[in-house]
A = this chain, B = another copy of it.
């Protein structure tokens, strides 16, 4: 492609609202243009990278027996009503009515539609197992689109769905998709780590997220460098400290005027925060299967004073679709007092009381007395209050002991670039997707679901592959392999003539060349080549040509060498091959580490 004809525009200035490197570079290099919040145009250079990423995804899916299909974006409401997600999912789902008043949504994912399709086609165990995938548009009305392509509303996703006879089949397949996902990311030049994750709105028994580590990541991961335990903070477990062994002492009220925080309370009483219990008042929007209005439920959570509530764990524990802080009025309505709350004496018919297991095991904690300016000493679970649920609801944090080996956990931030879920039979049962086994019995298909967003992957590659001058594309996904830069003036027509010839020769040899034939200064051309991040740059100038030489430079490390004009094509092919080999060297076998604690 001649750059004089290329539909692109580079920006010198950094757009003011772009907070991450990939967002800045996507805009500066003119790969995308934002049409509306979280809704982007892909320009030719961006589209080429996206297409290459998608080709890699296709190859890896085909390699594990995937068959490509294409399902619609617009789904009838009825499809999502059958699984219940029409009611469970809130504003994230875009909905509209058609000209006849029928309700539709824009698909955020395709479990329902895939199960419905498979129900039409699969009859017998002989047709199993099955892996279907598509690369397709989806829409999710994110509350806060951000980071350029990191969190958008309209996006392209490679989503795959497996269908097995039984859980054992799914368990056997899961490590294969796990490996395929590593292959996809590594072939794109992205370094990722797989962590255990929440199954969220998907449901299911096991899930992993593939995380590209970067400080701009939205997710916090907890990692054990000793044993390799890795989990998203949303579900990370840890080894809780053993509470002191002590006999329950008689409960007594203490006057704590104006002391309405845990930190203040510990200071006031001269005790560690670990000897207090913290009350958190929330209102849950509960999951419903029927078509009624969402039901609200007051939730009273209790964690040890030195720990943080993990809302994901709590939501999972009570089956909540969403949680919001309770108002003072709502708190007082159940008999508690904001700033001085505890479950002691609270009306359990009005509040779902959820107590962290460590609190339940800790004797003689200080807790609120449910009246202003007073706390209780020596509060003991079971004797002084009861709970509806006792389970782990606190967040793991850096320094906590690893659930497996006890070593201190480390926290890191990452972008979730892919996820895989063992779903089980939730969707196949809802859609009636069954098969007949050898004995002729109808059994529900056991499903898995696996997704990667093309655009977020593209942005993550930039996050990990850039410098102050621009993007550094891995050769496998670069929009062009070679930037051919001609440095000519009105007095050096021979440079144009030679560069034109090299361009044709490289194209003829199957090399993807972006030829900067523009009448611009050398600085402009070099800056643009660096910004666009083309892996191999060839510079054709009058001085070099006089000696029969062209300069070959690697974007990755700035390595430069002269190449004889007559050796140009093989030298470029060799350089491309070397860049490819670097990527391929990162492809290693992964062992799915089934971790305890779920």
Contacts and interface: CB of A to CB of B under 8 A. Distances in A.
Contacts of A50: 70
A8 B67 CA distance: 11
Contacts of A104: 36, 94
Given A67-B44, A96-B96, A7 B73 contact: no
Contact of A120 (B9, B47, B153): B9
A75 B9 CA distance: 23
Contact of A96 (B6, B30, B94, B137): B94
B41 A69 contact: yes
A147 to B, nearest CB: 17
Interface string A428-452: 0000000000000000000000000
A5 interface: yes
A390 interface: no
Contacts of A42: 69-71
A99 interface: yes
Given A47-B68, A96-B96, 7 more contacts: A8-B121, A35-B72, A42-B69, A43-B117, A72-B154, A73-B139, A94-B104
A69 B43 CA distance: 5
A40 interface: yes
A236 interface: no
Interface residues of A, number: 57
Contact of A5 (B7, B43, B65, B74): B65
Contacts of A33: 117, 120-121
A498 to B, nearest CB: 23
Contacts of A95: 96
B67 A153 contact: no
B70 A47 contact: yes
19 contacts: A4-B126, A5-B65, A7-B132, A35-B79, A35-B113, A36-B72, A36-B76, A41-B70, A42-B69, A42-B71, A44-B67, A50-B70, A73-B139, A74-B153, A91-B99, A92-B99, A94-B96, A96-B96, A137-B137
A587 interface: no
A266 interface: no
Contacts of A215: none
A116 interface: yes
A474 to B, nearest CB: 21
A98 interface: yes
A44 B72 contact: no
Nearest to A130: B7
A583 interface: no
Interface in A438-469: none
A117 B47 CA distance: 14
A96 B73 CA distance: 14
A141 interface: yes
Interface string A9-43: 10000000000000000000010010110011111
A143 interface: yes
A2 to B, nearest CB: 10
Interface in A101-120: 104, 106, 113, 116-117, 120
B41 A74 contact: no
A146 to B, nearest CB: 15
Given A7-B130, A98-B94, A113-B41, A73 B120 contact: no
A117 B76 CA distance: 32
B137 A73 contact: yes
Nearest to A99: B91
Interface string A504-516: 0000000000000
Contacts of A70: 41-42, 47, 50
Contacts of A113: 35, 41
A30 B76 contact: no
Contact of A73 (B43, B65, B154): B154
A64 to B, nearest CB: 12
